[in-house]
A and B are shown apart, each in its own frame.
Chain A
Amino acid sequence: MTPMTCDQVSEHIDLYAVGACAPGTAEAIGHHLHDCPACRELHDQATQLSDRLDWHFREQAGLDRLLSTLARESRPAHRPWLTLPAARRAFALAASVLVVLGLGVALRQPTPDSPAPGIVAWLEPAGRGGPKRGGHEMVPGVAESLALRDDAARHFPLEAEGPLSLVRLDLRLVLANPESRTLYLHPDDPRTALRLELRGPAVKKQWPGKGALTPALEPSRRVIPPGGTAELSLPWLVEGTRKAPRHLFWAEPGRYELVIRYEVPVSETPQGPGELRIFTSRPQTLVVGGR
Chain B
Amino acid sequence: MSHVPVPNEAELVRLAARGHADAFADLTRRYYRPVAGFLLKRVGPADLVEDLTQETFLQAYRSLTAGQVPEHFASWLFGIAHNCWGKWARRKQVLSFGAVSPEGVAAPEQQQTLEEAEEQALMQERLGRHLAELPEETRRMLEMKHHQGKTCEQIARELGRPVGTIKSQLARTYKALRGRLGGERP
B122 at the A/B interface (Cβ < 8 Å)? no
Q: Smallest distance from the beta carbon of A82 to chain B beta carbons, Å? A: 14
CB pair A255–B100 under 8 Å, yes or no, is yes
Can you name 19 extra interface pairs (CB under 8 A) apart from A48-B41, A197-B47? A18-B145, A18-B170, A20-B152, A41-B185, A49-B181, A52-B181, A53-B142, A54-B146, A55-B36, A70-B25, A71-B25, A74-B19, A74-B24, A145-B97, A158-B97, A205-B150, A282-B92, A282-B95, A283-B95
CB pair A285–B97 under 8 Å, yes or no, is yes
CB pair A56–B128 under 8 Å, yes or no, is yes
Interface residues of B (CB under 8 A from A): 19, 21, 24-25, 28-29, 32-33, 36, 40-41, 44-51, 53-54, 57-58, 61-62, 91-92, 94-100, 123-124, 127-128, 131, 142-143, 145-152, 154, 167, 170-171, 174-175, 177-178, 181, 183-185
In chain A between 29 and 88, which residues have their CB closer than 8 angstroms to a CB of chain B? 38, 41-42, 45-59, 62-63, 65-67, 69-71, 73-74
List 25 A–B pairs whose Cβ atoms lie within 8 Å, in order of A's numbering. Answer: A45-B178, A45-B183, A48-B44, A49-B174, A50-B146, A52-B181, A53-B146, A54-B147, A55-B46, A56-B124, A56-B131, A57-B146, A58-B46, A58-B50, A66-B32, A70-B58, A71-B25, A73-B62, A142-B95, A159-B97, A205-B149, A255-B100, A259-B45, A261-B51, A282-B94
CB pair A73–B174 under 8 Å, yes or no, is no
A7-15, A172-180, A224-232 - the one binding chain B: A7-15
Using A49-B178, A52-B40, A282-B92 as known contacts, say yes or no to A57 and B185 having CB atoms under 8 A apart. no
Complex Cα distance, B181 from A53, in Å, reads: 12
A204 at the A/B interface (Cβ < 8 Å)? yes
Residues of B within 8 A of A207 (CB): 149-150, 154
Complex Cα distance, B48 from A42, in Å, reads: 23
Using A14-B175, A51-B46 as known contacts, say yes or no to A56 and B91 having CB atoms under 8 A apart. no
Q: Smallest distance from the beta carbon of A129 to chain B beta carbons, Å? A: 21
**Which of B96, B99, B124, B151: most chain A CB closer than 10 A?**
B151
CB pair A283–B92 under 8 Å, yes or no, is yes
Complex Cα distance, B151 from A259, in Å, reads: 21
Using A14-B178, A18-B145, A66-B32 as known contacts, say yes or no to A42 and B123 having CB atoms under 8 A apart. no
In chain A between 181 and 228, which residues have their CB closer than 8 angstroms to a CB of chain B? 195, 197, 199, 204-207
Of chain A, the residue at the smallest CB distance from B37 is A55
A275 at the A/B interface (Cβ < 8 Å)? no
Of chain A, the residue at the smallest CB distance from B94 is A142
A280 at the A/B interface (Cβ < 8 Å)? yes
Residues of B within 8 A of A20 (CB): 145, 151-152, 167, 170
CB pair B48–A285 under 8 Å, yes or no, is no
Of chain A, the residue at the smallest CB distance from B32 is A63
Residues of A within 8 A of B142 (CB): 53, 57
CB pair B95–A284 under 8 Å, yes or no, is yes
